[in-house]
Amino acid sequence: MKLLVLLLAAFAAAERVRYDGYEVKRVFPKESDDLRHLAELRHDNRLDFWTEVQKPYTDIMVPPQMVEELEGRLRELGLPFMTIIRDVQKLSDEQKVAEPNEDGTPRAMDWTSYHRLVDIHGYMDQLAEDYPDMVTVMSIGSSYEDRDMKLIKVSTGSATQKMWIDGGIHAREWIAPAVVTYILRELVENYEENRDVVDLYDWYLLPLHNPDGYEYSHTNARLWRKTRSRWSGSCVGVDPNRNWDYHWMEQGASSDPCSEIYAGPEPFSEPETRSAADFIMAENADESFVGFFTVHSYGQYWLCPWGYDYIYPDDYDDLEDAGMTGVNALEDVHGTQFTFGPSAIVLYAAAGGSDDWAKGVGNIKYSYTLELRDTGFWGFELPASQIVPTGQETWEGIKAFARYFQ
């Protein structure tokens, strides 16, 4: 069955989705009624929510043939809105992507363009080869389409505590894997400059948490978010950040396979989430993980649990103190401002996220979701020229957090 599905997928692979005339509307919900109305609108799968249903703004991509209908509906509901992007395809066309080598070999990484999986995995292997005393690369499992879940461990041998950083769990958030590999370079190739903090921890980095989705967002549909698993005849993919087994499906997640926030047929239905969870459980048996970062875009938020409900964790003060150290250090680099808080309270409740699981089940006290640049001018189409500055500020934020415990 799975083989047949994969064969069919290979035949369908030629088709590339275009976004000509697709607009992004920014809606400004004020009261909880407004949020409720937007949450209802989300059931319409012709719309693609670029942000969660959230205050102060919610961004929605709308196909050209539906623009009028949506505008009418928003007016009816008394929801103020503006158009922030007029042609998504045009922005997509301007994205600088490192064209893959024809023979399938990795191209050297740079941080001036967005790279394909083969380059990112190749870079990890290269580091393992060049720095065998410091770097270990392993596969912690396979994706639905049988790609490696490649994880890299950076350790100088002196640390007793660990730090986790993943990126790309949502396929279209290209800045996330780019920044995680930027951090990897800082840890390994720039070790001398960062050694005081590198030495403090064993660093576990998973730059491509959703390898199938990431590739698909390059080859077929730039704005693909989910995994590529098939649980129904009608639609493909599960939202991997609704699939974790902690208060699964309680709020802000969907049981509709065609929804962008489909939580899956059951918790950990996705090999990508299950293998990461299993790995963390095993590695954290001795509670050696101090920090858990899952990197997303966009919005510029440093979020902590809980995401599943409108409540503060008991130890919120600790999470805020450490987190704000990061937020302030991040801002000092280029003036980029992040908002700190529990994700349900700051944004909107969404259960089944990895951050909640890491804290609630995985026992990692300091668990955060980072929503990187920007605040919607480019959204997911953040120009590659912003990879380096985004990497710099994020790394400074995480470093300050890491030093906070010294």
Catalytically active residues, by annotation: 371
Nearer residue to Zn ion within complex by CB, 222 or 296: 296
Q: Phi then psi for 208, rounded to 5 degrees?
A: -125, 90
Instruction: Tell whether residue 362 is a contact of ligand ARG (CB under 6 A).
Output: no
- SS3 state at 294: strand
Cα–Cα distance measured from residue 304 to residue 284, given in angstroms and rounded to the nearest whole number:
19
By a kind-dependent CB cut-off of 5 to 8 A, residue 350 interacts, out of ligand ARG, Zn ion, none, with: ligand ARG
Strand order in the sheet with 201-206: 135-142, 148-154, 201-206, 161-167, 289-297, 366-372, 301-304, 339-342
298 in Cβ contact with 376 (< 8 Å): yes
Of residues 156, 248, 194, 146, the one with CA closest to residue 396: 194
Nearer residue to Zn ion within complex by CB, 230 or 296: 296
Q: What is the DSSP string of 130-192?
A: H-TTTEEEEEEEE-TT--EEEEEEE--S--SEEEEEEE-SSTT-THHHHHHHHHHHHHHTTHH
Instruction: Tell whether residue 52 is a contact of ligand ARG (CB under 6 A).
Output: yes
Cα–Cα distances in angstroms (integers) from residue 220 to residues 17, 18, 86, 259, 283, in the given order = 6, 9, 21, 18, 36
**Assigned token pair, 221:** 């549909």
Instruction: Tell whether residue 353 is a contact of ligand ARG (CB under 6 A).
Output: yes
Report the nearest approach of Zn ion to the CB of residue 170 (Å).
3
What number of chain residues touch ligand ARG (CB under 6 A)?
A: 11
Element (H, E) at 218: helix 211-219
Cα–Cα distance measured from residue 186 to residue 197, given in angstroms and rounded to the nearest whole number:
11
Element (H, E) at 340: strand 339-342
Report the nearest approach of ligand ARG to the CB of residue 273 (Å).
12
Nearer residue to ligand ARG within complex by CB, 171 or 200: 171
Instruction: Tell whether residue 369 is a contact of ligand ARG (CB under 6 A).
Output: yes
Give the chain's length: 406
Nearer residue to ligand ARG within complex by CB, 222 or 359: 359
Report the nearest approach of Zn ion to the CB of residue 380 (Å).
9
Interface residue with ligand ARG, options 37, 296, 359, 399 (CB under 6 A): 296
Report the nearest approach of Zn ion to the CB of residue 116 (Å).
20
Interface residue with ligand ARG, options 241, 269, 336, 367 (CB under 6 A): 241
Element (H, E) at 201: strand 201-206
By a kind-dependent CB cut-off of 5 to 8 A, residue 356 interacts, out of ligand ARG, Zn ion, none, with: ligand ARG
Residues 6+ positions from 394 with CB-CB distance below 8 Å = 179, 182, 183, 295, 330, 370, 372
Amino acid at 401: F
Report the nearest approach of Zn ion to the CB of residue 252 (Å).
13
Interface residue with ligand ARG, options 140, 303, 329, 400 (CB under 6 A): 303
Interface residue with ligand ARG, options 155, 181, 217, 343 (CB under 6 A): 343
Interface residue with ligand ARG, options 34, 212, 355, 393 (CB under 6 A): 355
Residues 6+ positions from 279 with CB-CB distance below 8 Å = 140, 141, 151
By a kind-dependent CB cut-off of 5 to 8 A, residue 52 interacts, out of Zn ion, ligand ARG, none, with: ligand ARG
By a kind-dependent CB cut-off of 5 to 8 A, residue 343 interacts, out of Zn ion, ligand ARG, none, with: ligand ARG
Nearer residue to ligand ARG within complex by CB, 155 or 241: 241
Nearer residue to ligand ARG within complex by CB, 122 or 240: 240
Report the nearest approach of ligand ARG to the CB of residue 239 (Å).
7
By a kind-dependent CB cut-off of 5 to 8 A, residue 381 interacts, out of ligand ARG, Zn ion, none, with: none
Looking up tokens 């976004």 gives 19
Binding site for Zn ion (CB under 5 A): 170, 296
Interface residue with ligand ARG, options 350, 372, 387, 398 (CB under 6 A): 350
**Assigned token pair, 101:** 């080598």
Report the nearest approach of ligand ARG to the CB of residue 174 (Å).
15
Instruction: Tell whether residue 360 is a contact of ligand ARG (CB under 6 A).
Output: no
Cα–Cα distance measured from residue 108 to residue 127, given in angstroms and rounded to the nearest whole number:
12
Instruction: Tell whether residue 356 is a contact of ligand ARG (CB under 6 A).
Output: yes
Nearer residue to Zn ion within complex by CB, 325 or 343: 343
Interacting residues with ligand ARG (CB under 6 A): 52, 241, 296, 303, 307, 343, 350, 353, 355-356, 369
